Amino acid sequence: MNQDPADTSDTAAEPPAETASPPADVPAATPRPTAGAQDIDAATASLTADEDEESRLPEIEDDSAEPADGPLAVGRAAIEQAVRLAPTSPGVYRMLNAANDVLYVGKAKNVKKRLSSYARPTGHVMRIARMIAATVSVEIVSTATETEALLLEANLIKQLRPRFNVLLRDDKSFPYILITGDHWAPQILKHRGAQTRPGRYFGPFASVGAVNRTITALQRAFLVRSCTDSFFESRTRPCLLYQIRRCAGPCTSEVDFPGYTELVREATDFLSGRSRAVKGLLAAEMEKASNELEFETAALYRDRLAALSAIQSQQGINPRTVEEADVFAIYQEGGYSCVEVFFFRTGQNWGNRAYFPRAEKSFTPEEVLASFLAQFYDDKPPPKQILLSHDIEECELLANALCVKAGHKVEVSVPKRGEKKELVAHALTNAREALGRKLADTATQTRLLEGLATTLGLPKPPQRIEVYDNSHIQGTNAVGAMIVAGPDGFIKNQYRKFNIRSEGLTPGDDYAMMREVLQRRFKRLVAARAEGEAPAKDDETPRWPDLVIIDGGRGQLNAARGVLAELGLETEVTLLGVAKGPDRDAGRETLFMPEREAIKLEPRDPVLYFIQRLRDEAHRFVIGSHRKLRKKDIREAGLQEIPGIGPTRKRALLHHFGTLKEIERASLGDLGKVPGISAESARRIFDFFHPGPG
């Protein structure tokens, strides 16, 4: 949803463009049959079948360079050919370049009219002209209504990630709190993903940390269990949470069914916005217990009230008149945009998050915000109210589209007065501050990358740094890992781990492990390039690294160098080995590069700190991956040693009890209740963990 400066009559703006030289022969556009709302998913799947999974985005470009007349004329001819076949009904169009990459996805109330505006010879702003110059074909999908076109446009932008659209880069799902409804003793837990399990969902929360803090406080306030059902069923005595007053102990009947049901009801009421009534009830019970000289009971109610107050103090600003709303505020500076989102549910503030959408610098705040909203709610349920800092075009169309998705009325507005305006102003302040921090971090990272390039003698600051490390214990559970960093810091969605799987590998052979990891990583890149895939960009970071850092000295460096030489990449990728200092002291590292003397930096050198931070992040990631793998093996190893217990029974036991420790604690009767475990097998398992004397 981006407003086109060439045509303001019916839809959104068009993207920035990029210079290209398409071939002279232009393929004809292919109109698609009309698609209703129920066909949007199918249409999306059809359109995305041949697309590259990774986005290819340009850096923020300068509009000063004029495109050549030749490519511009060719692009205009391609669009004119598409206009002849374009429908006059609503629909979505895609502009493609010579490599069949999607340049832009747009929607229109009248597709023919919209495409005609691109085909005129003059009057385009420079970024639109560059996009036209890169276009060699146009794909069209007709929809029944403009609302369906808006929904399909947002869906395609998120899937195809065209380089010239405004892109929502951080699109993780939000965490929720779930109070389960499929057990007689409901459980409170953190939930992310599809809401398929029966129960009450509360959210979204802005971060996992906010959910964890809230659940911990709710446990103190309402004593609702957080253990798994299998753990619950296997208890014979209360666990530690009961001892520290964070659970009522329903597993061993420390609280009866009506009493626990009342605790769950109070927790549900509090999360549903009836916090004042719940606190009033607890205060009354505390006063009653105190008057009856039941001071231990009164102290329990006091602690529960304190836990509820702690939740509300962490939530910060809580509105008085806004029950359910999302608040969006956008701020632009230095060619960057920040959208701050606050979530208000049941009259409570459930956190905020800052987004930095990818947008060419000539887009206005209104254009960025409009496109951001359509993508943001593509896979999220909208609230009843959406409050904005800027007026966006087609506000009513967006509201109608969200109503279709949510199944209830959604109001989209820019408040002019009162508490709602104060909420938007607060969000705008946070957006300005978040963007300031982002720009400061980016400037610092840029200086560090420039210093790293100077220190290592690189021709330019690296845009993608890959750091590799291995972890194992005497060769067991060996795992390798790669972390990625760039101008914006660590890029965690591109981290990768490699389970070492070479047969005949000498246990503890770090060189062989490093060779396997690098072979697997770079063979994939070479294969992709052999298939004609250019080393294009995924967001701001190239797919090919400018610098590869190996945790280790000259030996590890030579092992990595041998792998790159075998693949013919020795001159394409710069290698750096980082050896720990004497006694593994940080600040005394030695840097190794092929065919160069070792480099020793001053202990307080900012570049050395930067390299240490990269290496330590690789350590953290690989050690965490190794521990997960080791824990899984340890859990399964005990069962594998029991005669007659194969994979099926092992899975049944773990599914029923959850952990090996709980299986070990289980009684003979409890083991016999597991599906697929006979009385003889139960006896064998029990005897394995409880051997008799002699």
Q: What angle do CA 453, 456, 458 make, to 5 degrees?
A: 50
* CATH number, position 529: 3.30.420.340
| Residue 165 placed within a domain | no
What residues make up the domain containing 92?
37-160
202 closest CA partner among 166, 174, 172: 174
Residue 616 shares a structural domain with residue 646: no
pLDDT score, position 341: 92
326 closest CA partner among 230, 205, 477, 417: 205
CA distance 629 to 639: 16
User: What are the two backbone dihedrals, phi and then psi, of residue 389, each rounded to the nearest 5 degrees?
Assistant: -85, -20
Residue 476 shares a structural domain with residue 594: yes
CA distance 40 to 27: 25
CA distance 633 to 477: 8
Q: Determine whether 47 is exposed, middle or buried from the number of CB atoms within 10 Å of its CB (0-12, 13-18, 19+).
A: buried
CA distance 114 to 100: 21
Residue 279 shares a structural domain with residue 363: no
Exposure string (b/e) for 259-289, b if CB count within 10 Å is 16 or more? ebeebbebbbbbbeebbeebbeebeebbeeb
CA distance 380 to 193: 10
CA distance 554 to 579: 8
CA distance 280 to 15: 55
User: What are the two backbone dihedrals, phi and then psi, of residue 411, each rounded to the nearest 5 degrees?
Assistant: -100, 125
pLDDT score, position 630: 63
| Residue 344 placed within a domain | yes
Q: Are 478 and 513 in contact (CB under 8 A)?
A: yes
The total number of structural domains in the chain stands at 5
| Residue 167 placed within a domain | no
Residue 475 shares a structural domain with residue 552: yes
| Residue 21 placed within a domain | no
User: What are the two backbone dihedrals, phi and then psi, of residue 180, each rounded to the nearest 5 degrees?
Assistant: -65, 155
235 closest CA partner among 259, 253, 261, 219: 253
Q: Are 261 and 248 in contact (CB under 8 A)?
A: no
Q: Look at residues 115, 132, 160 and tell me which one is the last residue of a structural domain.
A: 160
Q: What angle do CA 159, 111, 395 make, to 5 degrees?
A: 70
Give the pair of three-digit tokens for residue 353.
């998050």
Residue identified by tokens 């490390």 is 469
pLDDT score, position 64: 38
| Residue 483 placed within a domain | yes
| Residue 280 placed within a domain | yes
Residue 590 shares a structural domain with residue 510: yes
Q: Are 223 and 215 in contact (CB under 8 A)?
A: no
Q: What angle do CA 438, 439, 441 make, to 5 degrees?
A: 65
Q: Look at residues 119, 135, 160 and tell me which one is the last residue of a structural domain.
A: 160
DSSP state of 467: E
Distance (Å) of CA 288 to CA 113, 248, 274, 284, 645? 74, 21, 22, 6, 57
pLDDT score, position 318: 63
Block mean pLDDT (10 aa), the chain, length 694 = 44 40 40 43 44 34 44 83 89 89 89 88 76 88 89 87 81 83 90 86 81 82 86 85 87 89 86 70 77 76 70 59 88 89 82 87 88 87 90 89 86 90 92 89 89 91 91 71 89 86 71 87 84 51 85 88 89 89 69 89 86 90 76 57 72 74 78 84 79 49
CA distance 135 to 144: 26
Verify cis geometry, omega within 30 degrees of 0, for the bond prior to 647: no
- For the chain, the straight-line distance linking the first and the last C-alpha, in angstroms and rounded, comes to 78
Concatenate the DSSP letters of all residues of 341-410 into one string: EEEEETTEEEEEEEE--B--TTS-HHHHHHHHHHHHTTSS---SEEEESS--TTHHHHHHHHHHHHSS--
Exposure on the CB side of residue 251, measured as CA atoms within 13 A: 23
CA distance 491 to 487: 10
CA distance 685 to 240: 26
Residue 148 shares a structural domain with residue 184: no
* CATH number, position 340: 3.30.420
Residue 479 shares a structural domain with residue 558: yes
Residue 598 shares a structural domain with residue 661: no
| Residue 26 placed within a domain | no
Report which residue type is found at 67: P
Q: Are 575 and 561 in contact (CB under 8 A)?
A: yes
| Residue 12 placed within a domain | no
Residue 621 shares a structural domain with residue 654: no
Residue 226 shares a structural domain with residue 201: yes
Q: Are 31 and 145 in contact (CB under 8 A)?
A: no
Residue 605 shares a structural domain with residue 487: yes
The verdict on pTM exceeding 0.75 is: no
Pairing assessment for the beta strands 476-486 and 489-490 based on DSSP bridges: antiparallel
Residue 388 shares a structural domain with residue 478: no
Q: Look at residues 285, 315, 345 and tell me which one is the last residue of a structural domain.
A: 315
